């Protein structure tokens, strides 16, 4: 029985191309339909191997070669985009600029329309006229005012105007550098939303995740790459990325780059890109200290400086509340706020990892459903917590400053500073998680005997006098005191 089966296998392989066959009879067009064989594709060509047959596995000396699989430079990839939805009329409004007032491609206007972004924020209104024209930009804007959308719209408009370019593996046309993984992921998501009708290929790379999976996303030409400095340098050293044809560079949260010690890495990345004016550069941050401005002068050519409401580091949409609470009474005050406030999502900040661990454990023991975010938590778990927070499966998250930038989640009703930050600038980034994109929000800060030392610096930064009060029952009867009507 076994010998009979082996004989059938030998006959089968002898029929489709044995060692003694040197013609391509099994690829020939059948002389009649009775043979039941289909002709090869018109694009296929019969190619004879050169050299002797080496073993049983290489006895077939004929194979298909298709022109699109042949070696040589690849043709430009034509973006495949979704069909555009119908245009919706946006009425004019006094004192506001519409996106349709700019000469933007329909693909961008329809995506902005889907996101319900009909009118520009102040930073977008001031940035787009210059950035679309190709000017370098230094932008200072409050957190949550739409600077991400401003530079992404500029990128897509430029790429659409220039059209597709020849394919080259790892080649990048626009590079966005972010200081943290969370911010890089958020920018990538915004990129998918704004570019949904453009058909461009976007990729995001950052540390803490499988390098091989991210490497696979770099195959072929990349239109927009978002990443953190360390992982970008890692892929450049392994020749997985090529910035020689990059057209646009965006550096987001530059002051955070400076604080985290990433500036040497950013300098190295910038040195691999084309020089101005071949490259357009945009520099955005919520704050621009003198050190950052000095760096911008070395990387930008005749930039246009944009400041959105420079005298207001915090938007008027956020109601700020400061309460005098001793260190020993903080937990009881926090628990009282959680049980009495009406909120959709609540984000609580503390300064130390060990402190948020104890705070999360004590709240869970008190029956509060919450999770924590800090830098030493596994990246996959951090992403899972953020997505659960976004979907409102978890309504309370306790975090260190790792979450104070780049996490744009709609419906954060309150930001609570369990501890005031050591740096006044971090206070602005923390409370910027609420009151985003025109929505109202509120912040609550506990001022203890230690936090009182930073009040003076915070007053200078905010440009206003800070008045502390004691928590009263009327603070919880409704949300009026916290500006959340």
Q: pLDDT tens digit string along 193-213?
A: 999 999 999 999 998 888 888
Same domain, 264 and 324: no
| CB contact at 8 A, 199 and 160 | no
Torsion of CA 231, 234, 240, 242, to 10 degrees: 80
Q: Is the pLDDT of residue 270 over 90?
A: yes
pLDDT at position 80, please? 65
Q: Is the pLDDT of residue 358 over 60?
A: yes
Q: pLDDT tens digit string along 10-45?
A: 776 666 554 444 444 333 444 444 444 444 444 444
Domain boundary among 285, 307, 329: 307
pLDDT at position 64, please? 37
Q: pLDDT tens digit string along 301-320?
A: 889 999 876 666 777 788 99
Same domain, 280 and 360: no
What mean pLDDT is predicted for residues 383-411? 83
Higher pLDDT, 405 or 413: 413
**Residue 59, domain member (yes or no):** no
Q: What percent of the chain has pLDDT over 90?
A: 44
CATH number of residue 144's parent domain? 3.40.50.300
Domain boundary among 283, 307, 331: 307
Q: pLDDT tens digit string along 68-78?
A: 443 444 555 55
Confidence of residue 378 (pLDDT cuts 50, 70, 90): confident
Buried b (16+ CB within 10 A) or exposed e, 275-299: eeeebbbbbbbbbbeeebeebbeeb
**Residue 97, domain member (yes or no):** no
Paired strand residues for 138: 283, 305
User: What are the Cα distances from residue 146, in Å, to 38, 64, 66, 138, 377?
Assistant: 58, 52, 48, 15, 29
Same domain, 259 and 408: no
Same domain, 273 and 367: no
pLDDT at position 404, please? 60
Residue 433 belongs to what domain range?
318-482
Instruction: Report the distance separating Cα 251 and Cα 296, nearest Å.
Output: 10
pLDDT at position 5, please? 66
pLDDT at position 49, please? 45
Instruction: Report the distance separating Cα 415 and Cα 439, nearest Å.
Output: 14
Same domain, 131 and 247: yes
What mean pLDDT is predicted for residues 158-181? 88
pLDDT at position 169, please? 82
Same domain, 348 and 426: yes
Instruction: Report the distance separating Cα 256 and Cα 295, nearest Å.
Output: 13
| CB contact at 8 A, 325 and 447 | yes
Same domain, 335 and 236: no
**Residue 401, domain member (yes or no):** yes
**Residue 93, domain member (yes or no):** no
Q: pLDDT tens digit string along 80-138?
A: 667 888 888 889 998 889 999 998 999 999 999 999 888 998 899 999 999 999 999 99
**Residue 466, domain member (yes or no):** yes
Domains of the chain: total: 2
**Residue 29, domain member (yes or no):** no
Same domain, 478 and 350: yes
Residue 367 burial class via C-beta count within 10 angstroms: exposed 0-12, middle 13-18, buried 19 and up: exposed
> Crossing angle, helix 181-194 and helix 106-114, to 10 degrees?
110
**Residue 291, domain member (yes or no):** yes
Same domain, 179 and 132: yes
Q: pLDDT tens digit string along 212-236?
A: 889 989 987 899 999 999 999 999 9
Paired strand residues for 394: none
Same domain, 203 and 278: yes
Instruction: Report the distance separating Cα 224 and Cα 247, nearest Å.
Output: 10
**Residue 42, domain member (yes or no):** no
pLDDT at position 372, please? 92
Same domain, 147 and 208: yes
Going by C-alpha positions, the residue among 339, 344, 408 that lies closest to residue 367 is 339
Q: Is the pLDDT of residue 174 over 80?
A: yes
Same domain, 338 and 241: no
Q: Is the pLDDT of residue 397 over 60?
A: yes
Domain boundary among 276, 307, 338: 307
């Amino acid at each position: 029985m076994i010998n009979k089966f082996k004989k059938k296998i030998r006959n089968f392989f002898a029929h489709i191309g044995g060692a003694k066959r040197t013609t391509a009879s099994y690829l020939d067009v059948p002389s009649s339909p009775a043979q039941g064989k289909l002709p090869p594709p018109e694009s296929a060509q019969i190619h004879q191997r050169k050299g002797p047959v080496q073993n049983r596995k290489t006895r077939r000396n004929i194979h298909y070669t298709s022109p699109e699989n042949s070696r040589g430079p690849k043709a430009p990839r034509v973006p495949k985009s979704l069909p555009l939805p119908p245009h919706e009329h946006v009425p004019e409004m006094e004192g506001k600029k519409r996106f349709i007032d700019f000469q933007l491609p329909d693909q961008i206007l329809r995506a902005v329309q889907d996101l319900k972004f009909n009118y520009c924020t102040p930073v977008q209104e001031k940035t787009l006229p210059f950035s679309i024209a190709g000017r370098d930009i230094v932008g200072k804007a409050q957190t949550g005012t739409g600077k991400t959308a401003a530079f992404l719209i500029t990128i897509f408009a430029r790429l659409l105007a220039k059209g597709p370019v020849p394919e080259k593996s790892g080649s990048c046309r626009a590079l966005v550098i972010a200081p943290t993984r969370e911010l890089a992921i958020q920018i990538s998501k915004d990129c998918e939303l704004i570019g949904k009708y453009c058909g461009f290929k976007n990729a995001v790379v950052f540390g803490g995740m499988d390098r091989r999976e991210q490497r696979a996303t770099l195959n072929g030409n990349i239109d927009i790459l978002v990443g953190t400095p360390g992982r970008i340098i890692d892929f450049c050293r392994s020749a997985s990325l090529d910035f020689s044809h990059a057209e646009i560079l965006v550096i987001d949260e530059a002051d955070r780059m400076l604080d985290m010690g990433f500036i040497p890495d950013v300098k190295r990345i910038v040195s691999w890109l084309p020089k101005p004016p071949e490259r357009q550069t945009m520099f955005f941050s919520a704050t621009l200290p003198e050190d950052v401005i000095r760096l911008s002068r070395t990387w930008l050519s005749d930039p246009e400086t944009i400041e959105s409401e420079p005298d207001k580091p915090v938007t008027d949409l956020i109601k700020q509340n400061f309460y005098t609470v001793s260190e020993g009474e903080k937990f009881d005050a926090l628990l009282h706020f959680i049980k009495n406030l009406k909120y959709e999502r609540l984000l609580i900040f503390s300064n130390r990892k060990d402190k948020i661990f104890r705070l999360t454990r004590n709240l869970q023991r008190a029956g509060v459903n919450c999770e924590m975010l800090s830098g030493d938590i596994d990246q996959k778990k951090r992403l899972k917590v953020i997505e659960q927070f976004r979907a409102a499966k978890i309504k309370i998250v306790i975090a260190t400053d790792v979450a104070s930038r780049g996490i744009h989640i709609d419906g954060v009703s309150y930001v609570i500073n369990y501890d005031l930050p050591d740096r006044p600038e971090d206070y602005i980034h923390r409370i910027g998680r609420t009151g985003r994109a025109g929505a109202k929000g509120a912040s609550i800060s506990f001022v203890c005997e230690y936090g009182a030392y930073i009040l003076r610096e915070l007053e200078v930064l905010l440009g206003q006098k800070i008045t502390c009060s004691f928590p009263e029952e009327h603070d919880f009867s409704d949300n009026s005191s916290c500006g959340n009507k």
